[in-house]
Amino acid sequence: MPLMWRYLLKKIISIFSLSIFSFIIVLLITRTHDIARFAILSSNPSGVALFVLCQIPYILPIAIPLSCLISAFMTMSQLSSAHEVTAFRSLGFNLKSLLTPILLLGLFLGCVNFMVAAELTPRARKVAQKLIFSS
């Protein structure tokens, strides 16, 4: 992997991780009504924690694409404002080689998002419903 790709991916992944963590926290706060209702019905604190963890797969199909978009825009904005794009271009890199790691990471995150939406979310829904019915 070229050094430039590692540099760009490090920047993108740091912004992506921060934004996805923020989205998860904010969207979990919007689900406090369901979590509070379950916490009232359940006397088991570990069951409440498991119920909260089961809410995260509902949030990820929304948070992953938005976080990917935000991280790509912010990374390119930071590179442009620091004149790093100009420096890369003067070193002989074209825009295609600058955008390739961003597009490959977006393709990978799209596949991860599909797997979360297709596999993880239905299983989390099943576990959450079992927790609701058992309490």
Q: How much is the pLDDT for 60?
A: 93
CA gap 44, 49 in Å, rounded: 9
| 31 sits in which H/E element | none
Q: Compute the average pLDDT of residues 17-22.
A: 96
Give tens-digit pLDDT for 66-75.
999 999 999 9
φ/ψ of 31, rounded to 5, equals -95, 15
Q: Compute the average pLDDT of residues 45-68.
A: 93
Q: How much is the pLDDT for 2?
A: 85
